[in-house]
Amino acid sequence: MALALEPLNDAFVAEARGIDLSRPIDAATAAAVEAAMDRHAVLVFRGQPLDEDQQLAFTRWFGPLDLGLKKVFRAPNRLRHEESIDISNVGLDGKVLARDSKKMFSNLANQLWHSDSSFQLPPAKYSLLSAQVVPPHGGDTEFADMRAAYDALPDDMKRRIDGLVSEHWALHSRILLGDADYTEEEKAIIPPVEWPLVRRHPGSGRRSLFIGVHARRILGMSLPEGRMLLLDLLEHATQPAFVYRHRWRVGDLVMWDNRCVLHRGRHFDPAVRRELRRSTTEDVAWAQGNAA
Residues forming the site for Fe ion (CB under 5 A): 116
Looking at the Cβ atoms of 115 and 204, the one nearer to Fe ion is 115
Question: Considering the complex, what minimum distance in angstroms separates the CB of residue 222 from Fe ion?
Answer: 29
Q: How far is the CB of 85 from Fe ion (least distance, A)?
A: 9
Distance of CA 85 to the CA centre of its chain: 12
Beta carbon nearer to Fe ion, 116 or 283 = 116
Least distance (Å) from Fe ion to the CB of residue 170? 13
Least distance (Å) between residue 75 CB and Fe ion:
17
CB of 183 to Fe ion, least distance (A): 24
Q: Are strands 198-200 and 207-209 parallel, antiparallel or unpaired?
A: antiparallel
220 by Cβ neighbours in 10 Å (0-12 / 13-18 / 19+) ranks as: exposed
| Cβ atoms within 10 Å, residue 60 | 14
What minimum distance in Å lies between the beta carbon of 129 and Fe ion? 8
- 66 or 116: CB nearest Fe ion: 116
Residue 188: CA atoms inside 13 Å, Cβ hemisphere, count?
A: 3
CB-nearer residue toward Fe ion: 118 or 208: 118
Closer of 143 and 153 to Fe ion (Cβ)? 143
Query: Least distance in Å: CB of 34 to Fe ion?
Result: 20
Whether 218 contacts 230, CB under 8 Å: yes
Please, which residue, 153 or 216, has the CB nearer to Fe ion? 216
Residue in the shown chain whose Cβ atom is closest to Fe ion: 116
Burial environment of residue 183 by CB neighbours within 10 A (0 to 12, 13 to 18, 19 or more): exposed
Is 175 exposed, middle or buried (CB count within 10 Å of its CB: 0-12, 13-18, 19+)? middle
Q: Which is nearer to Fe ion, 119 or 286 (CB)?
A: 119
For the bound state, the minimum distance from the C-beta of residue 102 to Fe ion, rounded and expressed in Å, comes to 17
State which residue, 3 or 42, has the beta carbon closest to Fe ion.
42
CA distance 89 to 65: 23
| Residues 127/278, Cβ–Cβ less than 8 Å | yes
